């Protein structure tokens, strides 16, 4: 099943380090945005309970909610789709894929992804010490993609505007929604 709403241009990535600030971030993303629920380190039952809380907020706010993990789990948890690598099977909902290079972009396209999250565009607190792509390399990769590209990694609304000339569909962030709600 495909989402009933247009493809979001703004996304919130959930992360354990948000703590209770996650709820502020969910209030700060514009209505109709997307949310990718990660929280990988939680025990399965705790992760499911947290997902259910996020899902209630997402439904109330008209947010598209993807579960990071296999499409079968996303379907079982009643997510709108899944986020991850690997093949997409029919009827599993919307599918986004994380990509960092041209080979990963091509693999996600072949696997049937609907949307690419290209990172890290800039230095990011999520992956300290990892070299960012920078605007030019990011632009070259985004320009070679055949699917809509979401910029991720150190992104704010202002940085996303810098990347618009490269044809990005939109942007995703963790901290920008918590720390800078005006960055929309």
The reply to whether 1 falls in a domain is: no
Position 4 in a domain: no
Phi, psi of 19 (to 5 degrees): 55, -140
Mean pLDDT throughout 55-77? 95
pLDDT at residue 87 in the model: 73
Residue 102, in any domain of the structure: yes
At 128 the pLDDT is 75
- Angle of helix 44-61 relative to helix 21-28, nearest 10 degrees, comes to 30
Task: State the total domains in the chain.
Answer: 1
What is the distance between the alpha carbons of residues 144 and 146, in angstroms, rounded to a whole number? Answer: 7
Q: Which residue has the higher pLDDT, 75 or 93?
A: 75
Q: Name the least confident of 13-17, 77-81, 95-99.
A: 13-17
Q: Tell whether 156 is covered by a domain.
A: yes
Query: For the chain, how are helix, strand and coil distributed in percent, rounded to 5?
Result: 40, 20, 40
In a domain, 57, yes or no: yes
Share of residues in the chain with pLDDT > 70 (%):
91
Which domain range does residue 34 map to? Answer: 10-183
User: For 8-59, what is each residue's pLDDT tens digit?
Assistant: 999 999 988 888 899 999 999 999 999 999 999 999 999 999 999 999 999 9
For residue 5, the model assigns a pLDDT of 54
For the entire predicted model, the pTM comes to 0.90
Cβ distance 158 to 183 under 8 Å?
A: yes
What pLDDT is recorded for position 2? 45
Q: How many residues does the chain have?
A: 184
Residue 2 inside a domain? The answer is no
Residue 47 falls inside a structural domain? yes
What mean pLDDT do residues 114-143 have?
90
Q: Is the pLDDT of residue 95 over 70?
A: yes
CATH code, 71: 3.20.20.70
Q: How far is CA 90 from CA 71, 111, 112, 163, 172, in A?
A: 10, 11, 9, 32, 26
Asked if the bond preceding 107 is cis, omega within 30° of 0, the reply is no
Q: What is the DSSP letter of 43?
A: -
Does residue 108 sit within a domain?
yes
């Amino acid at each position: 099943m495909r989402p009933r709403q247009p493809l979001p241009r703004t996304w919130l990535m959930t992360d354990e380090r948000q703590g209770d600030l996650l709820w502020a971030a969910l209030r700060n993303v514009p209505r109709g945005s997307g949310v990718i629920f990660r929280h990988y380190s939680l025990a399965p039952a705790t992760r499911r309970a947290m997902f259910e809380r996020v899902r209630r907020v997402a439904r109330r706010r008209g947010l598209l909610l993807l579960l990071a993990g296999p499409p079968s789990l996303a379907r079982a948890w009643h997510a709108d789709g899944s986020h991850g690598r690997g093949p997409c099977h029919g009827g599993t909902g919307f599918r986004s894929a994380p990509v960092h290079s041209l080979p990963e972009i091509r693999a996600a396209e072949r696997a049937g992804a609907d949307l690419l999250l290209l990172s890290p565009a800039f230095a990011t607190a999520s992956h300290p010490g990892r070299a960012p792509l920078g605007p030019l390399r990011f632009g070259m990769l985004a320009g070679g993609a055949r699917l809509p590209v979401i910029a991720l990694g150190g992104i704010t609304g202002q940085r996303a505007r810098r990347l618009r000339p490269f044809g990005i569909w939109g942007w995703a962030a963790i901290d920008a929604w918590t720390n800078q709600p005006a960055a929309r």
